[in-house]
């Protein structure tokens, strides 16, 4: 099926395709077979781990321009296999962008799923920050200092509340039918501002591309609400179930059931962290993050199972790694502490106040 030249979503689809291509190009080493940092496969299939996915992903994106349905299907399939071959690739935008592309594609029924994704992202991203003691205390001031060293004192003092409240407000506007158009314009302003902020803070270009895509999607999916009837034969019950999963799954983060990035836990400062010590007792915090940002241009997903696998693949005899759990308001005051020796099994212990 070729794009309808009269479909207003056609131009949005092409723009989102360009954003996804830009994000992949900006993180090119992430999508290649490599020895260091090691691949962390979800499926132990050596043939998958030996594949370079960069050109395949760009090729399927280019197909979207002429054959949207086929290109979207192939891109989602290629991206899924790439993530199964290396879980480091499960970045926030790698999960979000396929949903935004599908919502801008030739099937109107999927636009409701895109709206559900955006509303869920806004509400949960804001809620996680408000539930994180570290966001207002340290994460937000550190980001602001990098992007705007001479920021007014009022902004520096209250910026940790302004962003999550803005995200929550946009999400609530998106939920109420009467205010959805307002959510489109507000969401575009929010993500346009975040994109400029990330550029000033010299954050990953992939995150900038994602926020541009979120701004465009907010306008396309909320600011221009067409009178779209259900697509003939569209599995509406299945779409409703998918929307409910998108809306409820982020709550699983607080029970250890949902990965932080899949739960829209972004820049909160309260995620699982590591402390890695060598045989002499010298320790380095968050080594995985440092290596991932330096070599791959992305943050390492803050998941204990990935910390342990990375450590097992890179440690030297005598090394120790401590993993401390997130300390959000909804987590108990005790910290989950996992200690792993090289070589040796993981030992889990629960200690009061992390002592």
**Which of these ranges, 34-38, 42-46, 87-91, has the smallest mean pLDDT?**
42-46
More confident residue, 151 or 284: 284
pLDDT, residue 354, reads 36
**Which of these ranges, 213-227, 252-266, 283-297, 321-335, has the smallest mean pLDDT?**
321-335
CA dihedral of residues 291, 294, 298, 304 (deg, nearest 10):
10
pLDDT, residue 28, reads 97
Confidence of residue 5 (pLDDT cuts 50, 70, 90): low
- Of 49, 48, 47, 24, whose CA–CA distance to 35 is shortest? 49
pLDDT, residue 235, reads 74
Distance linking the first and last C-alpha atoms of the chain: 61
- The verdict on pTM exceeding 0.85 is yes
What would the mean pLDDT of 138-144 be, rounded to a whole number?
84
- Of 307, 285, 288, whose CA–CA distance to 298 is shortest? 288
Confidence of residue 4 (pLDDT cuts 50, 70, 90): low
Q: Quick check: 2 and 64 in contact, CB under 8 A?
A: no
Q: Quick check: 129 and 268 in contact, CB under 8 A?
A: yes
pLDDT, residue 348, reads 43
As beta bridge partners, residue 274 has 323
Structure tokens at 206: 């992939």
Distance of CA 125 to the CA centre of its chain: 10
355 burial level (CB within 10 Å; 0-12, 13-18, 19+): exposed
């Amino acid at each position: 099926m070729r794009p309808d030249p009269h479909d207003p979503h056609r131009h949005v689809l092409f723009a989102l395709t360009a954003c996804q291509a830009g994000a992949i190009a900006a993180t090119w080493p992430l999508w290649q077979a490599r020895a260091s940092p090691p691949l962390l496969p979800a499926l132990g299939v050596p043939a998958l781990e030996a594949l370079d996915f960069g050109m395949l992903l760009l090729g399927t994106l280019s197909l979207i321009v002429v054959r949207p349905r086929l290109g979207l299907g192939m891109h989602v399939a290629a991206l899924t296999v790439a993530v199964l071959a290396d879980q480091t690739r499960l970045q926030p935008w790698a999960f979000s962008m396929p949903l935004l592309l599908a919502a801008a594609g030739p099937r109107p029924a999927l636009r409701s799923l895109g709206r559900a994704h955006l509303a869920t992202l806004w509400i949960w991203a804001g809620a996680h920050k408000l539930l994180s003691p570290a966001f207002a205390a340290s994460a937000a001031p550190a980001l602001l200092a990098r992007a705007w060293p001479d920021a007014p004192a009022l902004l520096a003092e209250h910026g940790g509340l302004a962003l999550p409240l803005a995200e929550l407000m946009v999400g609530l506007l998106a939920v109420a039918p009467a205010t959805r158009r307002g959510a489109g314009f507000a969401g575009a302003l929010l993500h346009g501002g975040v994109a400029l902020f990330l550029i000033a803070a010299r954050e990953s270009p992939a995150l900038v591309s994602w926020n541009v895509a979120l701004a465009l999607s907010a306008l396309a999916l909320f600011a221009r609400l067409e009178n779209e009837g259900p697509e003939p034969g569209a599995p509406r019950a299945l779409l409703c179930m998918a929307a409910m999963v998108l809306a409820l799954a982020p709550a699983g983060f607080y029970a250890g059931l949902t990965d932080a990035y899949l739960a829209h836990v972004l820049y909160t400062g309260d995620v699982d962290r590591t402390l890695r010590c060598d045989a002499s007792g010298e320790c380095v915090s968050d080594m995985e993050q440092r290596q991932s940002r330096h070599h791959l241009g992305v943050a390492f997903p803050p998941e204990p199972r990935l910390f342990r696998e990375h450590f097992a693949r890179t440690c030297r005899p005598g090394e120790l790694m401590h993993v401390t759990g997130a300390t959000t308001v909804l987590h108990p005051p005790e910290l989950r502490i996992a200690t792993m020796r090289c070589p040796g099994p993981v030992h889990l212990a629960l200690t009061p106040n992390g002592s």
